[in-house]
Amino acid sequence: MTQAHESKEVKYEEALKRLEKLVGELDRSELDLETRLKKFEEGTKLARVLLKKLDQAKKKVELLVKSSAGDATLIPFDDEPDADDRTA
């Protein structure tokens, strides 16, 4: 797996396409065991990156709160306010 796959900068769609390609390659029977294992390892790393990105997106959505004026405000998930600071 390349450094780009491990980086936070890799786009979700690019990682997903690469993972789908790896799955297709693993389905082919002409690959030897060593090659399959390398592709499987890369795929599991990509899956972790994808899950992390989905988790980050979920947290951002969860932190979308309404301000007292009624307009939406996105609070970065790494800077989550206390429960008392949130409004419903």
Domain harbouring 53, CATH code: 1.10.287
**Residue 20 is assigned to a structural domain of this protein:** yes
Measured distance CA(73)–CA(30) in Å, rounded: 52
In the chain, how long is the greatest CA-to-CA distance? Answer: 62
**Residue 70 is assigned to a structural domain of this protein:** no
What is the value of pTM for the model shown? 0.61
**Residue 47 is assigned to a structural domain of this protein:** yes
Measured distance CA(69)–CA(84) in Å, rounded: 17
pLDDT tens per residue, range 9-63: 789 999 999 999 999 999 987 889 999 999 999 999 999 999 999 998 888 777 7
Q: Count of domains in the chain? A: 1
Measured distance CA(18)–CA(14) in Å, rounded: 6
Q: What is the pLDDT of residue 34?
A: 95
Distances (CA, A) of 2 to 12, 22, 49, 81: 15, 14, 12, 36
